[in-house]
Structure 1
Amino acid sequence: MTTTATDLRAQAERHLRALVGRDDATLYDDQWAAIAALVEDKRRALVVQRTGWGKSAVYFVATALLREQGAGPTVILSPLLALMRNQIEAAERAGIHAVTINSTNSEQWAEVHAHIRAGEVDVLLVSPERLNNPGFRDEVLPRLTESAGLLVIDEAHCISDWGHDFRPDYRRIRQMLAELPGGIPVLATTATANARVTGDVAEQLAVHGGEGGSEARKLAPQPTVARPAPQPQEDVLVLRGPLDRESLSLAVLELSRPEERLAWLADHLGELAGSGIIYTLTVAASQDIAGYLRERGHEVAAYSGQTETTERLALEQDLLAGRLKALVATSALGMGFDATLGFVVNVGAPASPVAYYQQVGRAGRGLPDGARASVILLPAREDRDIWAYFASLAFPAEQHVRTALKVLSDSDRPMSTATLETYVDLSRNRLEMMLKVLDVDGAVRRVQGGWTATGQDWVYEQERYDRVAAARRDEQAAMLEYIATSECRMRFLREALDDPEAQDCGRCDNCGGFTVAASVSDAAVQRAGDRLTRPGVALAPRKLWPTALANLGLDLKGKIAGAEEGRVVARLTDLGLGQALRDLFRPGTPDQEVPVPLVQGVVAALADWRPRPDGLVAFESRTHPLLVDSLAHGLSRHLGVPVLGRVAIRDDSVAPGQGATNSAQRVAAVSRRAVLQTEPVAGRRILLVDDLVASGWSMTLAAHWLRAEGAEAVLPLALASET
């Protein structure tokens, strides 16, 4: 008997009710349209709908229907672990067996593969980073895509260069789409795509095997090219809905000083309904704010990319269960985290309205009808400095790319990233990102043992990189407009996402529907100020030399016999003294003696640390000679110990920060630039003094030299560190 559309929709809604646990649940028209396109027509579809609309219901219901028809498992490319965990739990409620393969569960991969081969898996969630693993890419992925019943690309804006959260690993998806066997439907979903991103993603979805296929990969895989306004393809179903979030009330509260922002949180966090998220721009800020709020009696915890996996799981569950008032989190707690949250507060503004819309979308889900979540932005003066830092991590300059390609071409064997670092002056993360892009573009290939060059021609697309950088600057300007606007805030965000139905919400602070108390108590400001100006951040010593330093003529390897744990007065990213330090080290600021507030910070840090040195050695500086000299001699007078010498500059042709983004390159640069010139230090405890710690390798090498001269201990001290 032939299944009619009516029968199929009835089956779909039965699966929906099992998924959401409600007997009265029905599909939205666009949900049904997407499901029908996937299940009946085996089409490709792009769904752009607001957070909380039910995009995951589309692929889970479609999976259930396709599996009943005998189709293979659904493969979901999903970018964040929190998203994966939520989706697996949701799938189990509907009787759908979902498993994941990602970087945190490698011990389970063999078992997962066995379940897949046995046909026991309905949904496999894969992190995009897995696509760059040689074994997975060459052996597992082809079998999965050939047998898949449905391919889902979640957070699909990551495919597009224009997307606010573009990721190099997502570039490989274009190849997957080109090589996917016919008859396998594809669904792409996102809540944060403007018209340009929507068109770009739809255009990539439209690539079929006939337009390149496996031959395209063998010859020259085409990178995503920046286009002014790509048009959605006719054979791709694009479903865009209105992006209003009726359960959200938006507000901006501008407080001039960081201690006022912390005081506001301490005074008003308990007034916000339910549990929620306090977003920060940096890991340091998440830790500082969480620590202060705990001191003030609030049940909060810090959450970032540095949080261990098991701790992340526990923290997410504590937030879901209401055992925590808030997680103080970086964007590591982002896309797809599904919880009933009563508020989102941002301490510091994201770099674009689109990214902000995505973060605030964590709030307001599952609230009772008529209830609203509070969404409050506390912008900071230092936001632009942080935006500029992240912008500096864009695709590297052509000279670095050409160096890497030449080194790989000249090598007769695969080269590891660590070895390649000794030739290319880039940080590990940026080097990895660059290699992933080159891999997708066909210029290099990741194999067992490292990377090899393919010999294919490769063009550095400066125009594309410049256009994307310009788009990022426009987004930052738009974020500043959002902060300053007197018009409806939700309408502003919806228009930033090209929502044609955008209109005034009647719920935000500008519409008059939401008022945020701006008051902060003097006592709270004082306590916050004390917390922020509390000096002294531990400076952990380097423990291992970079790999393959012999390539650079240095006989250094293995464990480092160097410094003890040191101190810096504060990090440049800190909320308190960080601002004074950012002003001090900002390009163009005249060289000067240590400012009084920082002198006080140094004295307080020493009182807490108690290093008990016998002598002092300072770095010679070309950029801040007066600053470092005043710091060294001031410390000598305060501690009553002599200045025994200096780490002198012997080669000015080596720039002060040369190699700072790459451990091996930095060690080589410091070795060429500096030399130790001191009185005898044998048996002495040496305070090693500098102004600013970037990579930490200058301190490490100087400590290594001092220990080689017989120093009993080396104790690093600096005014600031970059991280």
Structure 2
Amino acid sequence: MSQERTAVRERAEAVLRRLAGDEARLREDQWRAIEALVVEHRRVLCVQRTGWGKSAVYFIATALLRGNGAAVGPTVIVSPLLALMRNQVEAAARAGIRARTINSANLDEWDEIAAEIAAGTVDVLLISPERLNNPDFRDNVLPRLAATTGLLVVDEAHCVSDWGHDFRPDYRRLRTFLAGLPAGTPVLATTATANERVTHDVAEQLSTDDGSAALVLRGTLDRESLRLAVIDLPGAAHRLGWLAAHLEELPGSGIVYTLTVAAAAETAEFLRSRGYPVAVYTGQAEDADRRAAEQDLLDNKIKALVATSALGMGFDKPDLGFVVHLGAPPSPIAYYQQVGRAGRAVAHAEVVLLPGVEDAAIWRYFASLAFPPEEQVRAVLAALSTERPLSTQALEPIVDLRRARLEMMLKVLDVDGAVRRVRGGWLATGQPWRYDTARLERVAAARVAEQEAMREYARTTGCRLEYLRRCLDDPDATACGRCDRCAGPQFSPEVPASVLAAAQAFLGRPGVDVPPKKLWPTGLAAVGVPLKGRIPAEEQAWPGRVVGRLSDLGWGARLRGLVGPDAPDAPIPDDVAAAVIEVLKAWAHGDDRWPQRPEAVVAIGSRRRPALVGSLAERIASVGRLPLLGVVEPSGGAQDGPRGNSAQRVRARHDAFAVPAALAAALPELTGPVLLVDDLIDSGWTMTLVARELRRHGAPAVLPLALAMAG
């Protein structure tokens, strides 16, 4: 090693000691990455297991690059989560590095931070990938930032690849950032979860214009502290009961992952009822609540954080003692990434998977949110002008896509150069664009293969960790000697009868509130629908109820069997009818009881399940001794089937329901609410529109009631 490189290594080791303690020493791959960045000014991709020390590489490289009087500009770290940003700022401070963040939560600090960067007092700037395509940031901040960046770091780089398990279109905007970097600017991309195909894809995107390839440093994915197990249980109540019975046995504090927001809420509520201190973390929670939940886990104030995949990246608790999954993620790679949060600084950590029969249905739902078919993409491009921008909300009445899927598609088109995000929305660029059918089909096929691999993980008779490592193409994968296949089961599948009974009772409770719609979707006037703004109070429904959500741990499977897309039409079963009656009783006598008792029943006509809805309305009317006034049928012009977004649903149904003459004549005679009955509340717009018609024909109030709610 030359004297220059020896000196650089000595300085690197000194920074590491400040960062991680006096006993810390650089691993050879860590030093090779630092050497490539600081001495050779190369582009590097590090594919290394969680806990290997990827952040140490870029903090040390930053300290060395900026060590000579800040000779180069700040390091820019593109980081996917605010939680990760907060951890990074704290870690940087330990190394004597001043880090700042630019994100949606600190807009009022942007000018101050820009001034600090210009003054050379910021060593590290953390930004989210979403910020890269904010029009103001992209046009005004990004070019100057790229021109002065001393080191670019792309954290969780598997998100760059649409082959990856957690592809994010905003990451593709990094192409613009890379293109704006001065020649010789070092770049580091890091991830713990990339197989060979994803690694090749990311490395290819890191290649320079002159063809120089990125240096790929790929290490072993063994996790010597993890002890993996799978416990196959009969149903949701057994899984929830097992967790409640065994949670105390699990070491320290940890994470319980669920596949849906509803399941996270249910799981946390049941665990609290059994005396466990737990918190909830989902993408729907407020940022302040998520931060408080993270901190409680970091401080060991709670036994577990019950979370969705929103906690998948960026949470850093080295002494995390366990990870339990209630339901399997859709790929072994995603699973490895989530369980990798555990056991980073403890001798052993428990990893338990409790798969469910409903997992596949949830996987199918998330797979349905993939890139849309070509005709829908072309419809968006045709609707956009090159001069007058349209907002996402304005596009919704034109294109039948849910907002999240529409925004994802627009971001991909933006990166491909077909559209451009500006103030006020999106513009077409007029550039030719090709729908890459072959690639999208290959990605979809890869997703299906990943799901089958996840099923095989649960079934395998061989070492579980070896199986996961092979899924990530780890050439050194060998049997771990610790998992339930190598060393035998650590936990009994038995659930005490009393705990199982409690879980069954908890999951068997029917009743979920349904808030009423109060605002019409935007942009309806552009497609000839004369509705906008607030729904008048005299046309709104009251808050409603359903037996349960389709994603519920308890009622979900039963309800999917009645109202799912492949469910046959049949009269309502006695057990579900009994649950409906329990919902009505609780609704009548609970804390949020009816302001007035219903005076009559009206059904919404169903083309797919007339026997189910009709028998439900008749049963309610009979038990409640209420008159069944009639059925509001969809007209011949009504469009069946799910619609992609709220604007499309309202557009398709706003004038599709006619109140029969006899029913219209009876409504003004009522003094109390109408109980409006349907099988499924998906978006809630059918209920809203039918309730509006009933109110306009004289109904004093409308109480929506359905068997199930989507989501």
Q: CA deviation at 1:278?
A: 0.1
2:80 pairs with 1:96: no
Q: Determine the structure 2 residue equivalent to 1:394.
A: 370
List aligned pairs for 1:175-190, cutoff 5 A: 175-190=176-191
Q: Determine the structure 2 residue equivalent to 1:337.
A: 315
Measured in 1, the distance between the counterparts of 2:290 and 2:189 equals 27
List aligned pairs for 1:434-473, cutoff 5 A: 434-473=409-448
Q: CA deviation at 1:514?
A: 5.3
Q: Determine the structure 2 residue equivalent to 1:19.
A: 19
Measured in 2, the distance between the counterparts of 1:30 and 1:150 equals 19
Give the conservation status (yes or no) of the 8 Å contact 1:506–1:513.
no
List aligned pairs for 1:484-499, cutoff 5 A: 484-499=459-474
Q: 1:648 aligns with which of 628, 633, 656?
A: 633
Give the conservation status (yes or no) of the 8 Å contact 2:203–2:213.
no
Measured in 2, the distance between the counterparts of 1:163 and 1:45 equals 18
Measured in 2, the distance between the counterparts of 1:186 and 1:675 equals 63
Q: Determine the structure 1 residue equivalent to 2:704.
A: 716
Q: CA deviation at 1:577?
A: 1.2
Letter of the structure 1 residue corresponding to residue 11 of structure 2: Q
Q: Determine the structure 1 residue equivalent to 2:659.
A: 676
Measured in 2, the distance between the counterparts of 1:681 and 1:15 equals 78
2:37 pairs with 1:38: yes
Give the TM-score taking structure 1 as reference length: 0.94
SS in 2 for 1:45: strand
Counterparts in 2 of 1:625 and 1:501: CA distance versus 1, 3 Å: same
Counterparts in 2 of 1:412 and 1:187: CA distance versus 1, 3 Å: closer
Equivalenced residues, count? 692
Query: Which whole-Å deviations, capped at 9, do the CAs of 1:573-616 have from their partners, x for residues lacking one?
Result: 00111111112223333211111221121011111111421112
Q: CA deviation at 1:103?
A: 2.5
Measured in 2, the distance between the counterparts of 1:387 and 1:427 equals 18
Measured in 1, the distance between the counterparts of 2:546 and 2:361 equals 20
2:585 pairs with 1:607: yes
Q: CA deviation at 1:303?
A: 0.8
2:231 pairs with 1:253: yes
Give the conservation status (yes or no) of the 8 Å contact 1:507–1:514.
no
2:467 pairs with 1:482: no
Greater Cα shift, 663-672 or 487-496: 663-672
Measured in 2, the distance between the counterparts of 1:693 and 1:100 equals 41
Letter of the structure 2 residue corresponding to residue 423 of structure 1: I
Measured in 2, the distance between the counterparts of 1:118 and 1:71 equals 12
Counterparts in 2 of 1:244 and 1:514: CA distance versus 1, 3 Å: farther
SS in 1 for 2:705: strand
2:154 pairs with 1:128: no
Q: 1:507 aligns with which of 482, 495, 503?
A: 482
- Structure 2 portions without partners, runs of 5+: 589-593
Q: Determine the structure 1 residue equivalent to 2:262.
A: 284
Give the conservation status (yes or no) of the 8 Å contact 1:272–1:374.
yes
Q: CA deviation at 1:178?
A: 2.8
2:641 pairs with 1:657: yes
Query: Which whole-Å deviations, capped at 9, do the CAs of 1:222-251 have from their partners, x for residues lacking one?
Result: xxxxxxxxxxxx631110100000010000
Tell me the percent identity.
60
SS in 2 for 1:690: strand
Q: 2:297 aligns with which of 307, 319, 328?
A: 319
Measured in 2, the distance between the counterparts of 1:107 and 1:640 equals 60
List aligned pairs for 1:161-310, cutoff 5 A: 161-208=162-209, 235-310=213-288
Give the conservation status (yes or no) of the 8 Å contact 2:147–2:180.
no
SS in 2 for 1:68: coil
Q: Determine the structure 1 residue equivalent to 2:354.
A: 378
Q: 1:404 aligns with which of 380, 390, 407?
A: 380
Letter of the structure 1 residue corresponding to residue 8 of structure 2: L
Give the conservation status (yes or no) of the 8 Å contact 1:249–1:514.
no
SS in 1 for 2:484: coil
2:344 pairs with 1:365: yes
Letter of the structure 2 residue corresponding to residue 429 of structure 1: A
Q: Determine the structure 1 residue equivalent to 2:514.
A: 539
Measured in 2, the distance between the counterparts of 1:710 and 1:101 equals 54
Measured in 2, the distance between the counterparts of 1:676 and 1:89 equals 62
Query: Which whole-Å deviations, capped at 9, do the CAs of 1:255-280 have from their partners, x for residues lacking one?
Result: 01100001111111011110000000
Measured in 1, the distance between the counterparts of 2:66 and 2:587 equals 63
Measured in 2, the distance between the counterparts of 1:236 and 1:376 equals 37
Give the conservation status (yes or no) of the 8 Å contact 2:142–2:177.
no
Q: Determine the structure 1 residue equivalent to 2:47.
A: 48
2:690 pairs with 1:697: no
Give the conservation status (yes or no) of the 8 Å contact 1:102–1:127.
yes
Measured in 2, the distance between the counterparts of 1:569 and 1:112 equals 51
Measured in 1, the distance between the counterparts of 2:639 and 2:455 equals 35
SS in 2 for 1:4: helix
Measured in 1, the distance between the counterparts of 2:441 and 2:254 equals 38
Give the conservation status (yes or no) of the 8 Å contact 1:250–1:514.
no
Q: 1:667 aligns with which of 627, 631, 650?
A: 650
Measured in 1, the distance between the counterparts of 2:177 and 2:383 equals 29
Measured in 2, the distance between the counterparts of 1:112 and 1:431 equals 33
Could you say what the CA RMSD is over the residues aligned between the two structures, in angstroms?
1.4
SS in 1 for 2:639: coil
Q: Determine the structure 1 residue equivalent to 2:591.
A: none
List aligned pairs for 1:142-157, cutoff 5 A: 142-157=143-158
Letter of the structure 2 residue corresponding to residue 712 of structure 1: P
Query: Which whole-Å deviations, capped at 9, do the CAs of 1:489-533 have from their partners, x for residues lacking one?
Result: 000000000001000000100001651221211111111011111
Q: Determine the structure 1 residue equivalent to 2:6.
A: 6
Give the conservation status (yes or no) of the 8 Å contact 2:507–2:554.
yes
- Structure 1 portions without partners, runs of 5+: 212-233
SS in 2 for 1:511: helix
Measured in 1, the distance between the counterparts of 2:368 and 2:550 equals 16
Measured in 2, the distance between the counterparts of 1:584 and 1:614 equals 27
Q: CA deviation at 1:447?
A: 0.5
Counterparts in 2 of 1:200 and 1:524: CA distance versus 1, 3 Å: same
Measured in 2, the distance between the counterparts of 1:111 and 1:691 equals 55
Letter of the structure 2 residue corresponding to residue 291 of structure 1: E
Q: Determine the structure 1 residue equivalent to 2:331.
A: 352
SS in 1 for 2:443: helix
Give the TM-score taking structure 2 as reference length: 0.95
Measured in 2, the distance between the counterparts of 1:103 and 1:514 equals 46
SS in 2 for 1:90: helix
Measured in 2, the distance between the counterparts of 1:389 and 1:319 equals 30
Counterparts in 2 of 1:373 and 1:514: CA distance versus 1, 3 Å: farther
Measured in 2, the distance between the counterparts of 1:207 and 1:184 equals 11
Give the conservation status (yes or no) of the 8 Å contact 1:661–1:695.
no
Q: CA deviation at 1:197?
A: 0.9
Q: CA deviation at 1:412?
A: 4.7
Give the conservation status (yes or no) of the 8 Å contact 1:707–1:714.
yes
Q: Determine the structure 2 residue equivalent to 1:78.
A: 79
